[in-house]
Structure 1
């Protein structure tokens, strides 16, 4: 290993002693000179590395354990060049620590609770979220456990719980350490870079929930523990590698490196890349005639996966070209990546060369349908330490401006060239963009997307690495010289035993893999448990995809037309698009200091943590949520002729087209997606520590399965925009976003207690200025639009369905209510008085059951929709929203099964 790789590894392990020390180990430290390390945790880092990592460092990484232990642990008292670099990197990375708020509970706070647009309140109550001490996995352990409390001065006082009770509930450091050491033994399976990558992912699995900084007895100081030891260590590692690279390339004497001098020098370079045209590229698919084995559902899935792999491949290529390891990747998700390297002439030159080659490649291979924009910004150490009013947020802001400018210059050198001016007379019948050789063929991108989509249900691993040979029969995604990722099934993984990076999908266990990757990739597929069910569906629809006697459909993605058959009533699909509200503002302002009693929380580690944790939900946990919801929704009964069939087992009823970063696109039977959307919002609320500043706005478009996917994508996007642009006013308070739009109408999700700090800020400081509303995407706010909750709309529709299914109301009655809305309310939502006697007459004439008649009279004329004595929707708002409620009832009850 070279020195950068040694620094990267030592950086990851530099504070492992903090973890070990919290287990209260029985170590005899009398033989060590504490002055060599200065602090106990540094000494215990040395001890832990020598005791638990020695064998693997020698045999698997061919390293001197003493050297690595010294580089890692002597960052408080260095004696050589690499130890000196580690010390300076630690000073820079430790500047992230909280300086005002204090907490003596030695467990990790969720970073989500720290986001606020008004500053953290000194007197108001809030929910404080802590993570339990458990290895990372895609289940409820990634949710913070919240406790109600208030700030008293700078300290937290909890309501109803004391310190001892909370700590007991959050777990035991010794148990977590023992699991960690037991799994460390698996390092013996890997060599060289494989072993280094294993250590990186192993630390992510166990240190994600361990705080980097807690109450320090020696320093007599407290810190607010909201940065994990994993994120602190990987950022320190990245800075250390950048310092070394900067010193070597610029000729600085490392032994004379000065922290104060580096603070003033622009020695760091932050790189950000954004894949452009993702939405258009993914959804630009259409039905084809006569193309064997081509399926839109497969191709759609394949394109989404292909796009998700592009930043993974390119970020690894750039790091490799510049001589860095995985630790210098700040984040890679949501079609973006961010890297931290040294600001040197050579690095800048190489980046320019890579950018130019990427532009040429994307223009030629993707016909400019996809593009990549890369920008980078140099900055000094002061932006990490916060001196002279400098802040890391300023670096991010300037980088975004550069990135936006670069986006407008995409393909500026390629436009006008004739590489993509095809002389072929045929165009792909699916994407209608790329040329093909003959009329009855699809382009190579559509063909590749279909191949990937067909393969994905079967794969268990994705593999990165160079010089992998004899894998011609393995599906792969290749970006020319920039790299390749292989899609590998369980039975083929032994062929890749020498690959550098073998990642298990959506599972953090280590077996033949040395890492893991979270991808929102769940789709409904056919297996031996449901094959007979779908055979009957196929035969009944006379679908050419399957005819009796053909090969099994096992491990095929369920076509959209069949998925629609699983809907209740109308055989339609629900297309759900959503993303996190005001995310740009959250990253640029949500962690900034707001007042003298507030702290500066905007640091590189917190931003990296925020990005990683958001992606963990949308790329990882979304899969479990979909699968759990599917189990709750089964069985599904369906009538085919005179026969009733039952779907008892399927991995998912929801097709994740795309989910990652902070947004998602899902397709499912429409009634499933109506309920799932509400569950998703509730889970996200809990995941973000009940911080209402993390809103989620989306749109659900209900569609025929034959509607082209690019159109459903556009229609659902329009609904999402309606949800985001709607501002409600209630009791004099403005209410922003966090809405769901359906059938062209926006609703609040549900009745959460409390208000967003962004709403309070606007209410207090910008009451007569709409410019801030415009900046967050809200124009022409409706001053008097009343809040109606989506949860209650669904409840009311389901209540009416109960009466319909019991034959206590008729279909003609429902249609009359819908016509009354059209005639006496309309799109302007101004209720004409004539509607009341009309409705009263229809109730009296059509409903015989006294209880049901009383329900409709109360709901539509008197009080509104009530539950347990509480009015959930007023009469006025029930009437105004009959154009949503009644269509939902009619759809769910049409035609039976």
Structure 2
């Protein structure tokens, strides 16, 4: 990254640093206060300082600066990044234009047709990783809150050098401190875009324009971007680039080895790191920073790139070489589609409105990806794939089944490396990327790189002494330093390392529960969730970041703090392990009863976090611990599809393969499962058999047979009624038992008269039986 590119990114990130200063103690215009503060902390670069001092038209108009100053680019980029984020709203007569103590509004207030006014009452998240929910009550921010932010940034910047190796660290600092304060405190505007999201997009737009104007040989920025800036809005200066990796599920779940749980987690984590590494490789090739990354998660990514001949050629070349590497290392198992569409600033700002301009860009790039995935390989690729022979490799990898590159104990190079690193992946906080394979075990990545895991002490030493050090990803924590790419929010919760431990911790039946879930209609929400008046690149980035923090970080908190408990189980944590949790896909394995409780907690938490604007559908399978993991994944995936097939989606499907008929499943809305299946029917069964323990599973099995066959032969209803009559307490029994029986028998008979109640009762009986089954031997 050359000096001018470095300056435009740093200037874009710092251009509004005066806002927290103004909201703290400095009453001057934030352009001036930010300018003075940067000089105070030691920044002397004139181009960086000019971007802060002159990013508003009133100051830029009178500024005596060169016509090619980067301040003109940042001024223009600031306007584009703001876009419709600062749309005028209706004011009451008593409203004041600005409120320095205004909290950040929730991005979900206007998502998917929502109309609420929730805010965040914090400015700095705690280290405890408590979930930050939007609140209806408005709590004004204190001046001291902004004082903490300024001091935090000052302290971190002291040890930072202004080189491109530190750009991503600067992004980390800004995200950690500016994510919960509004970009604008005007009471005439919606304050739901954070200052971090705004400055990040400003830096992204600015770096694109610098490359675009360079290729177009535009040097008079004052004329092109200031005097004629609105005309420049129609220039197709940008590329919206999207990346999508295919084959994730087969790669993760197609394993046949022992220690499957460890292998599952390692493989999913490896793909997550691979995606981040690929993004950073491309950005490095283009001499851009992660400011240009709009979203990454679940094997998908969106980037804002400059629409230059050089950029397009580099992206095409990168895609070609990447897929050759994937082909050589994974055959046809993995493939990366990369597509891009040219777009203008006006299109990014959804101009003209009412024509679907903004969402049209996303639809176009999505179509390009679909076409590429449908035609992955050309003739040369197919000849290479068909020409591969097994050669001397007669044995297959015992983990993934491949028959080449076996390196140790009948494992291929990648599976052996992942299994060796599996414990480090769980225990250590830093993913280190190297350009040469070290003596210790490492896993190969594209571009001749390798991945290892280290703790902070090991990493600090390597950053100082290893010439092959490339970059680092911190796991669930911020870390600054040379070539720190980013911190990765990672769902890494675990209570055990083996299936046997999780199954053994279950209440009653010794069985595993497998949960698969994803957000309903996420693609539609991402592209078209905001209406035409409010859609913007900054909001897209803010929404994406919220999704990532929930499903990659807060999911750990949900698991650590059980709320909904099935049966009488009391525990301070869930017996579970996250296999994968990305932008829209969740895969968790645990004790079967904990998986049902966790699923309800996850839905409740997402509902509160997104103010009901996002829905989730799930499937939960129940399996013996020795059941093949690939079959668990497949069958649970089918259950998830059952939930998705409902008109409203927003459902969960339970399946019990041992006793229920083949293909029989139970799909419920979340409230129906929680309140009617468990809260009403299972609770009745538990209350009755707790007081009358001599009756139990055997009687319920008989009832179940009559219930399930009641429509085939009416005599089954008579048998059912007779069975209920037989358990009536004797005349000399206690009043309490008699009253309990009356409630039990009346409701049990009433429920089988209604189809929905019958279905719910069958599920409740299964849950009760499994909760009260005696544990069999392992």
Of 272, 278, 295 in structure 2, the residue corresponding to residue 314 of structure 1 is: 278
Matches of 2:481 and 2:602, distance apart in 1: 31
Instruction: Give the counterpart of 1:673 among 570, 585, 595.
Output: 595
Is the deviation greater in 843-852 or in 196-205?
A: 843-852
Q: Note closer, same or farther for the CA distance 1:812–1:230 as it changes in structure 2 (3 Å cut).
A: same
Which moves more between the two structures, 336-345 or 852-861? 852-861
Encode CA deviations 1:759-799: one digit per residue, 9 max, x unaligned: xxxxxxxxxxxxxxxxxxxxxxxxxxxxx334431233244
* Paired position in structure 2 for 1:157: none
Query: 1:851 is matched with which residue?
Result: 739
For the residues of structure 1 that align with 2:483 and 2:703, how far apart are their CA atoms?
60
Cα offsets for 1:724-748 (capped at 9, x unmatched) = 1113xxxxxxxx1111110211111
Instruction: Confirm or deny that 1:564 pairs with 2:485.
Output: no
1:877 has 2:756 as partner: yes
User: Are 1:422 and 2:390 an aligned pair?
Assistant: yes
| Structure 1 position 839, deviation (Å) | 5.1
- Correspondences of 1:782-797 after superposition (within 5 Å): 788-795=672-679, 796-797=681-682
Distance 1:437 1:242, change over 3 A: closer
- 1: CA distance between counterparts of 2:668 and 2:564? 28
Aligned partners of 2:537, 2:149: CA distance in 1, in Å?
Answer: 29
- CA–CA distance in 2 between the matches of 1:386 and 1:816? 63
Alignment partners' CA distance in 1, 2:754 and 2:738: 20
d(CA) in 2 for partners of 1:719, 1:179? 47
Do structure 1's residue 209 and structure 2's residue 185 form an aligned pair? no
2 CA distance for matches of 1:510 and 1:811? 58
Residue 327 of structure 2: which of 344, 363, 382 is its match?
363
**Counterparts of 1:632 and 1:882, CA distance in 2:** 19
Verify: 1:713 aligned to 2:685, yes or no. no
1:134–1:176 contact (8 Å) kept in structure 2 = no
Shift of 1:878: 3.2
1:578 alignment partner, one of 517, 527, 530: 517
Match of 2:666 in 1: 745
Does 1:6 find its partner at 2:7? yes
User: Is the CA contact 1:697–1:724 (under 8 Å) kept in the aligned structure 2?
Assistant: yes
Q: In structure 2, what is the equivalent of residue 837 of structure 1?
A: 721
Of residues 682, 689, 693, the one that matches 1:804 is: 689
Instruction: Compute the displacement of 1:487 (Å).
Output: 1.4
2:562 is aligned to: 629
Aligned pairs, number: 729
Partner residue, 2:373: 407
Q: Which residue is equivalent to 1:161?
A: none
Contact map agreement 2:7 2:47 (CA 8 A) in 1: no
Among residues 69, 92, 95, which one is paired with 2:49 in the alignment?
Answer: 69
Q: Are the aligned partners of 2:408 and 2:416 in contact in 1 as well (CA < 8 Å)?
A: no
SS across alignment from 2:77 = helix
Residues 803, 587 of structure 1: alpha-carbon distance in 2 compared, 3 angstrom cutoff: same
Shift of residue 561, structure 1, vs aligned partner: 1.8
Alpha carbons of structure 1 residues 844 and 127: separation in structure 2 relative to 1, 3 Å: farther
Quick check: 1:87 aligned with 2:7?
A: no
Residue number in structure 2 paired with 1:504: 474
3-state SS of paired residue (2:215): helix
2:772 corresponding residue in structure 1:
893
CA contact (8 A) 1:463 1:503 kept: yes
1:20 maps to which residue? 21
CA–CA distance in 1 between the matches of 2:359 and 2:211? 24
* 3-state SS of 1:84 partner: helix
Q: Which residue of structure 1 aligns with residue 703 of structure 2?
A: 817
Q: In structure 2, what is the Cα distance between the partners aligned to 1:633 and 1:488? A: 39
**Pair 1:266 & 2:243 matched:** no
Pair 1:302–1:825, CA change in 2 (3 A)? farther
Specify the alignment match of 2:109 in structure 1.
Answer: 113
5+ residue gaps, structure 1, are: 30-39, 58-63, 148-165, 217-221, 289-294, 526-557, 594-599, 638-647, 728-735, 751-787, 865-872
| Aligned CA distance change for structure 1 residues 462 and 138 (closer, same or farther; 3 Å) | farther
Cα distance, 1:491 vs structure 2: 4.1
Task: Give how far 1:47 is off.
Answer: 2.6
Distance of 1:260 and 1:138 partners within structure 2: 46
Report the CA distance between 1:627 and its aligned residue. 2.1
Change over 3 Å in CA distance of 1:359–1:681 after alignment to 2: same
Q: In 2, are the aligned partners of 1:860 and 1:879 still within 8 Å (CA)?
A: no
Is 1:144 aligned to 2:144, yes or no? Answer: no
Q: TM-score, normalised by structure 1?
A: 0.76
- Cα 1:351–1:87 shift into 2, 3 Å: same
Pair 1:700 & 2:592 matched: no
Q: What is the Cα deviation at residue 605 of structure 1?
A: 1.0
Aligned counterpart, 2:662 = none
**How far apart, in 2, do the equivalents of 1:228 and 1:677 lie?**
31
Aligned 8 A contact 2:295 2:303 in 1: yes
Secondary structure in structure 2 of the residue aligned to 1:280: helix
Given the superposition, is the C-alpha separation of residues 835 and 22 from structure 1 closer, same or farther in structure 2, using an over 3 Å criterion? farther
RMSD, aligned CA: 3.1
Residue aligning to 2:661: none
CA contact (8 A) 2:105 2:117 kept: no
Q: Are the aligned partners of 2:168 and 2:483 in contact in 1 as well (CA < 8 Å)?
A: no
1:158-216 Cα offsets, whole Å, 9 max, x none, are xxxxxxxx234xx3243243244145313334433454332211110111111112217
Task: Give 1:659's aligned residue.
Answer: 581
Q: What is the deviation of 1:354?
A: 0.7
**Quick check: 1:395 aligned with 2:383?**
no
Contact 1:813 1:842 in 2 (8 A): no
